[in-house]
Every structure is written in structure tokens, then in C-alpha cells.
Amino acid sequence: MSELSSVGIVAPQTAHFSEPLTLKSGAVLPAYDLVFETYGTLNADKSNAVLICHALSGTHHVAGKYREDDKYPGWWDNMIGPGKPLDTNRFFVIGVNNLGGCSGSTGPKTINPATGKPWGSAFPVVTVDDWVASQARLADYLGIESFAAIVGGSLGGMQALQWALTYPDRVKNALVIAAAPNLTAQNMAFNEVARQAIITDPEFYGGDYYEHGVVPRRGLRIARMLGHITYLSDDAMGAKFGRKMKHDEIKYSFDVEFEMESYLRYQGDKFAETFDANTYLRMTRALDYFDPAVEFNGDLSAALAKAKADFLVVSFTSDWRFSTGRSREIVKALLDNELTVSYAELTAAHGHDAFLMPDPHYHAVVRAYLENIEFGGAK
């Protein structure tokens, strides 16, 4: 095995929780499953655990492959593994699919035992707070009292931040990457267009499309295409596609004329094949509702007063959907509370997607930060 290697073949596990969970909305989930994966070994005093929180379309499958011939490994495989920035030789890493997801944890497409039918429209709206509460129960289930680190990008970064507020004594370090303290109106506007694309699809059936044997593929596809545009920078799209044509001559039609269109359609189609539209609605709503400062009259510094963790905040210069200025707001609020914080504002061309890219400097910063984390006896 090379020094930088994969965690290898992994398998998901499922934890069942029979204690009802009261959600922020007031709705109650009587019972639920969380599907998760782990990499590395939990040490004797259970002090080396790291939780990975996923973003909008992420899953519990963070690293490794299920089978040797899987085309792709987990979504953050470049970050996590033996000798990688998040080194599984030192840390015990957990990936979990969030409630309301569509990759195995209880969500809209899961069968509701009360009705024998998929939850569909009846599945409640979940929030970042609800995810953190459910993840804490998973930690209890695994016997983990306190995490060495909680790591997330984008919506995952919001969860890492919320963890530090909800369970200040259970998080030693929070790595908040390409995130924001809340969404701007423009950012929420993209989510609303995406949801409208789904909801107005004739095959949405108010969210209960499962029983009609269809999925609102067209809406989900458009939602994803829109999202993709906002995850990339103008420069990145320019470099990748520019005005490159698909064919040798202009066809004066509405078929694919430019390479960019071909790419967006491909991404939309691929996503609509595998992702659940109801989950997409809920993930975007969780983004919209996230705003820890709202209970403090918009005072983020007051909201973050509860935090005790050390923080690494990372943003990317070309990320316009979660701009560097939003990360600087988080940093300022942490500074106002005299917390231990470092902030790296990385020059990157890839826009919001940069947090998933294997940029050497980005990885070096994350590696350096994680290497300095000490836990239970041995460093």
C-alpha cells in the first residue's frame, strides 16, 4: 500500500433509534434509522472520533469503495484515508446520511411503518438543529462522548458550527469549510427556484409520487442544473467549456449547441436518476432555515458565545454562493468570543465546489490543523 492510500473496501451500517425525536418544527419522528460508515479505529478512551457532516447531496459514503470495481470512491475520498489530510491511521472517522436523506437513513422515500407506504409529503421538514440532535444520538450509540473534530463543507460546515453551539462540551474542534452563518436572500432565491422546478413538475403529485410509480425527474434535473451553475465560478466554467460548440457548425436549434449545455444536461440527468426530489426540497429548506443568530436579534457573536471548540474556518475566493465574506462573519463572531480560531482564505478557481477539490495548499492547511489535535494520552 502506498502512503496515500484508500480506506479500501467499506460497508455501511445502520443504527435504529426507537426513542422519538422531536424536531424543531414540533413534528415528532417516532423512530428512525441512520445509515453510517466508519473508517479507522476508535481508540480505547474513544477520544479520536471525527464526524463528517455532508452537504446538500452528500451521503454517509465519504471514503473508500463498496466493491473494487466501483467507478468512484466516497465523495471526500481525497481528504480521508491512511496518510491523507484526515488521517484514518490516527482518527476514527464517521460518515452519516442525514435524516430526510435518500441514501438509507429515514427520509421521504422510506416506508412509514404507520401507513405501510413511503413517507412522501408526510415526512417532516428537518433542520440543521435536528440533524445535529440525531447525530448526537448516533454518537451515544457508538459510545462517543466527545468528538476530536467535526468537519463539514457548505451545509456540512453549518452542521459543524451548530454542533459547537448545541453540544459545546462534545466538540473539541470544528472545521467549518465554505460555509456561512446563514443564507443571503440571493442564495435562498436559488433554492426557491430549484424547489419550484420540482414542485411544479406534473409528476410531483404533492410529494407523493412514489405511489404513482413516477418521479419528478424533469424538476429535479432542472434544480440540479441550476445548482451546478452556482457551485462553479464563471472562470471555472469559462476554462472548462468557454464557448466551445458541440458540433462543427451552428444548427440554429434548441438542441445542445454548446459543450456547457451538454455538461449541465448530463449532470442533471445523472442526479435525477439517483437522488430523491423530496430530499432535495428538505435539504434546501434546511439551508434556508439555518440561522443561529436569529434567536439573538441577528447578533452572531452573541449566538456563538456558547461555543467552546477550537475552530478552523476555510473559504475559497471564487466561491460566490458561500462567499469569503460570509466566512469572515463567522471568524469575527468567534474572535469576539475570544475563541481559538484560524482562518484560511484560499485562492481557488473552482467556486463553491473547491471544498471538494484536492488542492495541495488546501489539503496542507487541513492536514496541519488536524495533526496538531491532541487527544487522550497519545498525540
Partner 1 sequence: MSTHTPAQAHTHFAEAASERRDFAAIARWVAPGAKVLDLGCGDGALLGYLRDTLNVRGYGVERADANVLACVKNGVNVIQMDLEAGLSGFEAQSFDVVILSQTLQAMHNTEGIVMDMLRVGKEVVVTFPNFGYWRHRIQLITGNMPVSRNLPYQWYDTPNVHLCTISDFDNFCRDHNIRVTERLVLTDGKPVSLLPNILGSLAMYRLGNNT
Which residues in this chain contact partner 1 in the complex, by CB under 8 A?
312, 328, 331-332, 335-336, 338, 340-347, 361, 364-365, 368-369, 371-372
Name the one residue in this structure whose C-alpha cell is 464526524: 51
**Residue 361 annotated among the catalytic residues of the structure:** no
Of 261 and 345, nearer to partner 1 (C-beta) is 345
Between CA 284 and CA 276 the distance in angstroms is 13
Query: Residue 306: phi, psi to the nearest 5?
Result: -75, -25
According to DSSP, the β-strands at 49-53 and 32-39 are unpaired
Q: 56 or 346, CB closer to partner 1?
A: 346
Picking from 175, 193, 192, 154, the residue whose alpha carbon sits closest to that of residue 326 is 154
Sign of torsion over alpha carbons 62, 85, 181, 163: positive
Instruction: Extract the C-alpha cell encoding 126.
Output: 428537518
Q: How far is the CB of 156 from partner 1 (least distance, A)?
A: 20
CB of 347 to partner 1, least distance (A): 7
* Three cell numbers written together for 281: 426540497
Exactly one of 6, 130, 352, 359 is catalytic; which is it?
352
Look at residue 80 and give its three-state secondary structure: strand
In whole angstroms, the minimum distance from the beta carbon of 26 to partner 1 comes to: 37
* Number of other residues whose CB lies within 10 A of the CB of residue 347: 11
Closest distance of CB 314 from partner 1, Å: 9
Kindly report the CA angle at 100 between 132 and 280, in degrees rounded to 5? 115
Which member of 57, 154, 323, 327 is catalytic?
A: 154
Helices 217-231 and 259-274: crossing angle in degrees, nearest 10, is 120
CB of 142 to partner 1, least distance (A): 29
Residue 118 φ/ψ, nearest 5 degrees? -60, 145
Q: Is residue 269 annotated as part of the catalytic site, yes or no? A: no
18 or 297: CB nearest partner 1: 297
Whole-angstrom distance, CA of residue 89 vs CA of residue 39: 9
Q: Minimum CB separation from partner 1 for residue 318, in Å?
A: 15
Pairing, β 32-39 against β 13-17: antiparallel
Written as nine digits, the cell of 56 is: 446538500
Question: Which of residues 306 and 361 has its CB atom nearest to partner 1 in the complex?
Answer: 361
Nearer to partner 1 (CB atom), residue 10 or residue 312: 312
Residue 3 to residue 223: CA distance in whole angstroms: 40
What is residue 125's DSSP assignment? P
Residue 6 annotated among the catalytic residues of the structure: no
Return the number of the residue (281 or 348) whose C-beta is nearest partner 1.
348
Q: Which of 129, 276, 319, 359 is catalytic?
A: 319
- Residues with a catalytic annotation lie at 154, 319, 352
